[in-house]
């Protein structure tokens, strides 16, 4: 899931920085289409994500190419992690952190670098600007409310522009639950429970979706999905080049 402040992303910056929108996070249902206003990320999210020191995992990691929409590994459920405590799993987590930062992401699932395992990493602010860093193996989301327009209880869903590192150069508005809880294990097999609200809740849902073989574009209408894929086709080359440049800089 992309950082909302990524200056290399050629999509319209107003998706995340609309100055007319103080980002009321409650039940904002907006029209879609090229002339529709997109919900902005809260200022605290933008400020917190703008420049993040690399966590220790990223400092140990290396860049791996990011798998893009259409690759089989992104469109099926990933295999459960069983090799807890192994050097291979630790290396995978480190490389995922580095790759996520090189791509200016706030979350990354293993299948986004072509690895068929149920693990994701995150370095993501919530709507108050609090930074959350960690990883989850074999994540399971607690049941979520129905986010369809008119179906969710007041305050339980947020519509906001969303993107994906595996759909480079595209974003679209999408409803997500305002709060999410993920249960799983860390890389050593210890149980973990991660709770998020606002933007961080969106990240937890987005990354768990990945490991179930679901991209955010799968939750859009066919026309919306087609527009996103067209934007990806137009912008992906520039995004890939920017990621490689940043990876080289971070490796120094």
Active-site residue, 68 included: no
User: What do you get for the CA distance between the two ends of the chain, in Å?
Assistant: 25
Q: Which of 51, 207, 234, 237 is an active site residue? A: 207
**Contact in structure between 237 and 102 (CB atoms under 8 Å):** no
Q: Which residues are catalytic?
A: 207
């Amino acid at each position: 899931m992309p950082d909302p402040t990524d200056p290399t992303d050629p999509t319209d910056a107003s998706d995340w920085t609309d100055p007319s929108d103080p980002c009321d996070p409650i039940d904002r249902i907006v029209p879609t289409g090229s002339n529709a206003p997109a919900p902005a990320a809260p200022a605290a999210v933008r400020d917190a994500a703008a420049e993040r020191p690399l966590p220790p995992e990223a400092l140990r990691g290396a860049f791996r190419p990011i798998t893009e929409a259409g690759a089989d590994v992104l469109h099926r459920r990933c295999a459960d992690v069983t090799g807890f405590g192994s050097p291979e799993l630790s290396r995978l987590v480190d490389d995922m952190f580095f790759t996520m930062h090189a791509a200016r992401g706030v979350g990354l699932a293993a299948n986004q670098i072509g690895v068929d395992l149920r693990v994701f990493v995150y370095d993501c602010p919530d709507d108050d600007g609090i930074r959350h860093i960690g990883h989850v193996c074999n994540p399971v989301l607690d049941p979520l409310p129905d986010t369809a327009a008119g179906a969710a209880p007041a305050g339980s869903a947020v519509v906001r522009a969303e993107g994906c590192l595996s759909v480079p150069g595209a974003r679209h508005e999408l409803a997500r639950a305002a709060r999410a809880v993920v249960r799983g294990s860390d890389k050593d097999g210890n149980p973990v429970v991660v709770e998020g609200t606002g933007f961080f809740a969106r990240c937890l849902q987005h990354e768990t979706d990945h490991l179930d073989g679901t991209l955010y574009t799968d939750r859009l209408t066919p026309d919306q999905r087609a527009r996103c894929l067209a934007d990806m086709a137009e912008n992906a080359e520039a995004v890939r080049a920017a990621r490689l440049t940043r990876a080289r800089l971070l490796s120094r």
